[in-house]
């Protein structure tokens, strides 16, 4: 599934689990019968992607600060839409791996998102829970970034985090953003 997630989905933009799983079987040269295929697709359909706690509140606070908002992910849109539908309408721009035919394994997805929002890297903040994709790549292009680290990191992880800004949740991250903007975060 990693190849589909990072390579095939950005290129082809599968719109449902049948196409996504079908491609996995094609790559592996497996030919399941129809019942097995339907069972595998059903298992994936039942999986949920839980939005981060306080996501709706964070978007609301960003809007009150007068900020543009974007959801940037490598995940296929059909995989997350139903699970975050209560905040999607409030977000200015939603980017998945297929939007720009790239994923978060490099800075291009961020550069193109900033261009679409008409925002410079120095005006942008990325908040996410993956050190490399959500913090290191955005900071390399001049964005600020906040790593969500909900659990206390191990010694090795804390060394990897280095000088990065870390928050325990989206509430704390928005407090940091409010301080950066010079406005009290509502």
All structural domains of the chain: 2-46 (no CATH), 55-181 (3.40.50.1000)
Q: Give all strands (DSSP E) within 29-164, no chain letters.
A: 70-72, 93-95, 125-128, 144-148
pTM: 0.83
DSSP lists the bridge partners of residue 126 as 145
Consecutive sets of 10 residues in the chain, 186 residues long: mean pLDDT of each?
Answer: 73 90 91 94 87 89 95 91 89 94 91 97 94 91 90 56 78 92 70
> Is 134 within 8 Å of 165 (Cβ atoms)?
no
Q: How far apart are CA 156 and CA 42, in angstroms?
A: 38
């Amino acid at each position: 599934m990693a190849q589909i997630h990072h390579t095939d989905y950005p290129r082809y933009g599968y719109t449902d689990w049948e196409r996504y799983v079908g491609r996995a079987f094609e790559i592996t040269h497996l030919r399941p019968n129809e019942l097995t295929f339907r069972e595998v697709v059903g298992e994936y359909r039942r999986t949920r992607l839980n939005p981060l706690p306080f996501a709706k509140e964070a978007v609301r606070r960003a809007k009150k600060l007068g900020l543009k908002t974007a959801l940037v992910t490598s995940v296929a849109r059909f995989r997350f839409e139903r699970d975050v539908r209560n905040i999607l309408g409030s977000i200015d721009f939603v980017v998945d791996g297929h939007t720009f035919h790239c994923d978060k394994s490099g800075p291009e997805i961020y550069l193109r998102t900033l261009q679409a929002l008409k925002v410079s890297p120095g005006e942008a903040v990325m908040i996410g829970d993956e050190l490399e994709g959500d913090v290191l790549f955005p900071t390399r292009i001049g964005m600020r970034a906040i790593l969500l680290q909900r659990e206390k990191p191990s010694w090795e992880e804390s060394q990897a985090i280095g000088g990065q800004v870390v928050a325990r949740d989206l509430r704390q991250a928005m407090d940091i953003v409010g301080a950066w903007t010079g406005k009290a975060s509502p």
